[in-house]
Structure 1
């Protein structure tokens, strides 16, 4: 991944977009800190394509229709107060 300073990315935006399309995500920094990423449209669609619906996600989990918890019959120990 290439790293671009904001000033450079602003003046060379067309090149940043082309690089994102050809070589992958391009990181943009401000004062040395990563602030943004430029992605190709194909990468963006791949990231957002598989967003499951919350309802489907919850209903797709393990089935617990016959869920039983076995408890020990131990009453604990006696203590003197």
Structure 2
């Protein structure tokens, strides 16, 4: 169901109850979709089994030795003058 923002604000409890009972509830702003209210169960289903950002980054391709050496050889101190 679509809810104009003002109605969703005034009837938020009903919006949440319908999200739990009927599924996602769309909130509109000036006739355009602006947000979707989901039940906790729907949200959990969407986010279940998704890798975290860290998992995603760590699963990337292995670096070859030249790239690893270049990164390890870089200066360990800040590149900007700390006195400025």
Q: Specify the TM-score bucket, using the shorter chain as the normaliser.
A: 0.5 to 0.7
Q: Give the structure with higher Rg (CA).
A: 1
Aligned length: 58
Structure 2, unmatched stretches of 5+, are 63-84
| Deviation readout 1:26-77 (Å, 9 max, x if unpaired) | 0000000000000000000111111123134769xxxxxxxxxxxxxxxxxx
Structure 1, unmatched stretches of 5+, are 60-81
Which aligned segments of 4 or more residues in structure 1 are displaced greater than 6 angstroms? none
Per the TM alignment, residue 8 of structure 1 is displaced from its structure 2 partner at its CA by: 0.2
Task: Give the alignment's TM-score, normalised by structure 2.
Answer: 0.63
Tell me, in whole angstroms, the C-alpha distance in 1 between the residues paired with 2:10 and 2:61: 47
Root-mean-square deviation (CA, aligned residues, Å) is 1.6
Distance 1:50 1:41, change over 3 A: same
The reply to whether residue 32 of structure 1 matches residue 31 of structure 2 is yes
